[in-house]
Structure 1
Amino acid sequence: MCGIAGIVAAPGRPAPSTELGRRMIDVIRHRGPDDHGLHCDEQAVLGMRRLSIVDVAGGHQPAYAAEGQVCLVFNGEIYNFRELRRGFEKQGARFDTRGEAEVILHAYLRHGADAIAMLDGMFAIAIRDQRSNELLLARDRFGEKPLYYAHGPWGLLFGSELKSLLQSPDCPREIDPAALSAYLAYGYVPCPLSIFAGVGKLPPAHLLRFREGRIELRRYWRPSLAVRTPLDEDAAGERLAWLLDRAVSSRLVSDVPFGAFLSGGLDSSTVVALMTRHLSQPVKTFSIGFREAAFNELADARRVARHLGTEHHELVVEPDAVELLERLVWHFDEPFADSSAVPTFLVSQLARRHVKMALTGDGGDELFGGYDRYRRLLAMERLGPLRGPAGVAMRIAGAALPDPLGGRLQRIGERLRLPFRQRYLSGVALMRADTAAALNARAGGHGHYDLPAIDDPGADLGAGDSALDRAVAMDLQSYLPDDILVKLDRMAMANSLEGRSPFLEPELATFALSLPERLRVSGADTKVLLRRVASRWLPPQAVDKPKQGFAVPLAEWFRGPLRPLVADTLASRAFRERGLCDPAAAQALLDDHLAGRANRDQALWQVTCLELWARRFLDTTAQEEVPCCCA
């Protein structure tokens, strides 16, 4: 696990400075405090920071091949590198290290860019080939590891985090209006956008080739929703159990201590149960809770830990919400408002006291149909031609009833009359379109939130007419890589901890997507086949536990520890003059929340995160992390 960064000058431009390369990797030291390295030639600088997990002694980067003419830096883990290495050795290859970098380089020398599709892992890779004077960038299939880039007449910048690119005076710094609109709706900036126009994120499963001053993007893999497994339910269960076990065991490759996050829910509990089958010592598990009972899952996690015999570590936290929020803003680089980042950071902080790597249950909801919004969407779709009349009736009824029921009926009525893509995305959005439009100062209070930044890739992935598959396709394209996996990567890396997600093993993921709808979502039941299989290893309470999410008590915080911060923020001259959010609309949200007229916690969190981000990245330079004082 590492962080990478670099710059390649365009033809005829001066060579990048070594000092710039050092700044680009020093600012992401948290991603790799164990080691660092820098490659310099007449046209490029490539750098890395290393968190040593595999081949601790011999895994230094940059790595070289072809008599030093090919250089590689990469972030992540390649889980099948040993199998690839054995295959190459049978063909006569010789290796000097026990790590992954040399295997990737050897695959590249034999297969060129096609080597990337051979890799099972989470990765962001940069290969500088001086023989052809080009740079190849690659990102893993699901977007577990981040990779930003910016291209201009001066050349190409790239890095694991946006703050690396911002060390260069050439990096664009103009806010992208489409990115701002998307953030106000969803709480994150969807790929391929970044908050700055002119800076992009390399999409998952894509390659970028930079040569002669030009870039070329190509997709090397795509999930398929067109193929259905021919197996009956019993055979599918056996196949799933085998794939789950193999995926977890493949993610246990490590030369350092490791453990797992454990919420007590189905996904993380399944991962831990399978870990126990492959380890001779108890699995180290980690859970975080809050004093507010509605947000505390420690009892559920404790029950699973006892059942599986893990070495369990837990902590009830009362974080300094203000200082913690400022630290999180620095690590995310872009405005990011998924509040579950708070417990993710805290459980990563707890785990890092004991281990350097932890397995997680991320990806299970998208692949096996775990979100409640999938159930709600399918219920809407069953209305068919009646959606229009039902929508009108609900809006009329909602207008006649008091909140919160009236408002909820009106929102459902509005969704029913929308085209499919907007109907689904409106259920994903954190903020109502009218609220987001009123807040968006750059749209003059009349923003339009039919977000083209998140397309419907259903046809491209073979989803057909299936509403579930089309929704899953959109989540695989945006919500999973741009929210869920961003949160895991940044919060784990903020603590110099590696997080691994077994559910995203390619063959397991492909099989999950091939399951018929009834084995994923059926009536009120979600993750149907996964629950059935997991019941072999888990207590009934864990298998049947409703999805709770990794939530925090935002509503209470905005009436308590966060109240002074948000009040001072909205009253500040900088906020009023910045022109990102409409001050009157923001103040109305706070007034409603404090008066108890409506719960505006999520919208207030988004506004607060946006303004703190602007202070950190627009008003100052991103040079070093803000200290944090957390329990």
Structure 2
Amino acid sequence: MCGIIAVLNPTFTPSTIIDNFKKGQHRGPDHSTFEIINNSVWMGFHRLAINGLTPDSNQPFCIDGIYLVCNGEIYNYKELYQEYNIQPETKSDCEIIIHLYKQFGIHETMQIINASECAFVLYDSNTDCTYAVRDTYGVRPLYHAILGTMHIFASELKMINELNITTVQHHIPSTITMFHRGELKDVHYYTSLSSFYSMTDHIEDVYKGIHDKLYNCIKRRVIATERPIACLLSGGLDSSIVTAVVKRVRDELGVTEPLETYSIGLEGAEDLKYATIMANFLGTKHTNIIVTEDDFFNAIPETIYNLESYDTTSVRASVGNIMVCKEISKRSEAKVVFNGDGSDEVTGGYLYMKKCPDAIEFDKECRRLVQNIHLFDALRSDRGPSCNGLEARTPFLDPEFVDWYLMLPPEIRFTPHCEKLLLRKAFESYLPPCIANRTKEAFSDGVSSTKRSWYQIIQEKIPAIWDLDTVNMFNPPTTPEQRYYRMIFNQYYSNMENVVPYMWMPKYTTSTDCSARTLEHYNEKE
């Protein structure tokens, strides 16, 4: 991951902005630059070098008066250079954005690179127009802060949290924000299709289509890196599929170094057991990181600072995610970390979705989850690696896979007797039976044993917080756990509560907690 900031019509001094900008350096530990382009546009960039490892690939880029800071990976940039007969000036994948913009304009550029992950700000000094853009599903983070006539775009809240700006929001995914002579305009460059394929294929052809789409999405992410790779392997279906495909692609490419895989959990955790089985099945160089209950609980304040959210399920899941990435950064040369995030939203894998009343409602819920994933799982997926100087690769959120899968008829995607059945069938030959048939276990639950869950541990250890003023509070906390998280969040990001527009909760249930282990039908999964 990298970190970017762009300030339009600045009203602060450069030193004030730079002091805040430096707080995002963990995202890009290899090189940092802050440039005053002119009186109206300032740009900063923290670089984690993944492609084009030489200094000429440092940002901001400037070509023919067009400036760019981009936190992203344009996976097919080499093919685009060939297709459009463009001669690059560097070996960076992000440079292609400027060339495409010059040739096609910003809207068509985003259509061309839609399968990539990026959040960027481009300033064209020739037209005095600035564009802030975020990828289709918000895999790469971007915040938009407004103070009077000043606009700031930044990768993280901590890069702006001491500027006393109260109007801060997530930049909406698949949106281009155009800024020209004081006028702001948002344009959506991409809308997911809501129509469905007619079901004329044999079901085996559907399995093959799912396999081929996801395989290609993973393969392009394996190829597009000059830095070593590792995989987060929980032993669940999604991370196991991604790891198995990464291993197979590396074998095809002739990579001889063993693939590193990592899992984390408390003693007796379900994930550790299944991750070990999967790692042995694939022959990876696997590391199980075993932590104590106190290790997990004491990491909550740092987790909330890095996550920049007080959402209950996001905090619970991010503790282990951040801790395992910290260990990778200490133990490994790997800088690119693959994960299985996004699958549950796309395929409807959450246990509560077994209780959807029908296939149409199931489809609506999947699309809602995908549309809002940047607020929850995509945020967690980014922060774990990025706060430890690593880059996440999230192939399940590639639009090529997401859109193809969601266009399958809902009646074949909705399989309440066995969640994610199509995905299981598509990749069952890649997995041992106990993994292919393992029922969904949320990461925030799987890091603990079934006898003593992470959810239960938190309830026992959480302090009683009664001095938190919740009168007129946005998203007021309703439990001691939520009060604790909110108190910590407010210590770091006061007046920024609206970045969590609502709390993630399962539907179709009477449960008042977000843990899948509290669902009425949890034990039906066996």
CA distance in 2 between partners of 1:214 and 1:237 (Å): 48
The 5 Å alignment of 1:469-508 reads 469-478=363-372, 480-508=373-401
Q: Which of 242, 254, 263 lines up with 2:225 in the alignment?
A: 254
Determine whether 1:26 maps to 2:22. yes
Report deviation, 1:168. Answer: 3.1
Determine whether 1:164 maps to 2:138. no
The 5 Å alignment of 1:609-620 reads 609-618=485-494
Q: Which of 334, 340, 349 lines up with 2:326 in the alignment?
A: 349
CA distance in 1 between partners of 2:16 and 2:80 (Å): 35
Is the partner of 2:57 in helix, strand or coil?
coil
Distance 1:84 1:364, change over 3 A: same
Determine whether 1:372 maps to 2:351. yes
CA distance in 1 between partners of 2:261 and 2:458 (Å): 31
CA distance in 1 between partners of 2:475 and 2:341 (Å): 35
CA distance in 2 between partners of 1:333 and 1:342 (Å): 13
Report deviation, 1:337. Answer: 2.2
Would you say the 8 A contact 2:207–2:422 is kept in 1?
Answer: yes
* Matching residue's letter, 1:112: G
Measured on the aligned residues, the alpha-carbon RMSD in Å equals 2.3
When normalised by structure 2's length, the TM-score is 0.85
Specify the alignment match of 1:210 in structure 2: 179
CA distance in 2 between partners of 1:46 and 1:237 (Å): 46
Deviation per residue, 1:550-603 (Å, 9 max, x gap): 12544443465x34xx13x33x4xx258864999x96xxxxxxxxxxxxxxxx3
Deviation per residue, 1:479-537 (Å, 9 max, x gap): x2211001111122111111111112222222111222343222311212211111111
Deviation per residue, 1:301-331 (Å, 9 max, x gap): 1111111111111111115345411111211
CA distance in 2 between partners of 1:23 and 1:257 (Å): 32
Specify the alignment match of 1:108 in structure 2: 101
Determine whether 1:141 maps to 2:141. no
* Matching residue's letter, 1:361: G
Distance 1:301 1:215, change over 3 A: same
Specify the alignment match of 1:263 in structure 2: 234
Is the partner of 1:141 in helix, strand or coil?
coil
Q: Which of 300, 317, 321 lines up with 1:325 in the alignment?
A: 300
CA distance in 2 between partners of 1:44 and 1:305 (Å): 49
The 5 Å alignment of 1:74-85 reads 74-85=70-81
Would you say the 8 A contact 1:6–1:21 is kept in 2?
Answer: no
Specify the alignment match of 1:542 in structure 2: 435
Specify the alignment match of 2:195 in structure 1: 226
Determine whether 1:557 maps to 2:434. no
When normalised by structure 1's length, the TM-score is 0.71
Would you say the 8 A contact 1:5–1:25 is kept in 2?
Answer: yes
CA distance in 2 between partners of 1:470 and 1:347 (Å): 34
Distance 1:131 1:216, change over 3 A: same
Report deviation, 1:334. Answer: 3.8
* Matching residue's letter, 1:6: A
Would you say the 8 A contact 1:286–1:314 is kept in 2?
Answer: yes
* Matching residue's letter, 1:243: K
Q: Which of 246, 250, 253 lines up with 1:275 in the alignment?
A: 246
Is the partner of 1:30 in helix, strand or coil?
helix
* Matching residue's letter, 1:87: E
CA distance in 1 between partners of 2:5 and 2:370 (Å): 26
Determine whether 1:466 maps to 2:351. no
Distance 1:18 1:604, change over 3 A: same
Report deviation, 1:62. Answer: 0.4
Distance 1:326 1:239, change over 3 A: same
Determine whether 1:530 maps to 2:423. yes
The 5 Å alignment of 1:564-583 reads 566-567=463-464, 569-570=465-466, 572=467, 575-576=468-469, 580=473
Report deviation, 1:207. Answer: 0.6
Q: Which of 40, 62, 65 lines up with 1:64 in the alignment?
A: 62
User: Aligned residues, how many?
Assistant: 473
Would you say the 8 A contact 1:139–1:206 is kept in 2?
Answer: yes
Determine whether 1:132 maps to 2:106. no
- Unaligned runs of 5+ residues in structure 2 are 446-452, 497-526
Is the partner of 1:551 in helix, strand or coil?
helix
- Unaligned runs of 5+ residues in structure 1 are 173-197, 382-464, 587-602, 621-631
Determine whether 1:199 maps to 2:99. no
Is the partner of 2:382 in helix, strand or coil?
helix
Specify the alignment match of 1:290 in structure 2: 266
Distance 1:59 1:367, change over 3 A: same
Would you say the 8 A contact 2:307–2:318 is kept in 1?
Answer: no
Q: Which of 468, 474, 481 lines up with 1:605 in the alignment?
A: 481
CA distance in 1 between partners of 2:378 and 2:411 (Å): 27
Larger radius of gyration: 1
Deviation per residue, 1:74-110 (Å, 9 max, x gap): 1121111111111122xxx321211122211101111
* Matching residue's letter, 1:161: E
CA distance in 2 between partners of 1:22 and 1:305 (Å): 44
Specify the alignment match of 1:393 in structure 2: none
Report deviation, 1:287. Answer: 0.5
Distance 1:582 1:306, change over 3 A: closer
Is the partner of 2:443 in helix, strand or coil?
coil
CA distance in 2 between partners of 1:344 and 1:226 (Å): 36
Specify the alignment match of 1:451 in structure 2: none
Q: Which of 92, 105, 122 lines up with 2:117 in the alignment?
A: 122
Is the partner of 2:194 in helix, strand or coil?
coil
* Matching residue's letter, 1:350: E
Specify the alignment match of 1:305 in structure 2: 279
Would you say the 8 A contact 1:35–1:51 is kept in 2?
Answer: yes
Is the partner of 1:28 in helix, strand or coil?
helix
Would you say the 8 A contact 1:7–1:16 is kept in 2?
Answer: no
Is the partner of 2:120 in helix, strand or coil?
strand
Q: Which of 290, 296, 314 lines up with 1:316 in the alignment?
A: 290
Specify the alignment match of 1:17 in structure 2: 13
Would you say the 8 A contact 2:353–2:416 is kept in 1?
Answer: no
Report deviation, 1:126. Answer: 0.3
CA distance in 1 between partners of 2:311 and 2:218 (Å): 30
Would you say the 8 A contact 2:347–2:366 is kept in 1?
Answer: no
Give the fraction of aligned pairs with identical amino acids, expressed as a percent: 25
Determine whether 1:47 maps to 2:47. no
Q: Which of 520, 524, 538 lines up with 2:413 in the alignment?
A: 520
CA distance in 2 between partners of 1:346 and 1:582 (Å): 28
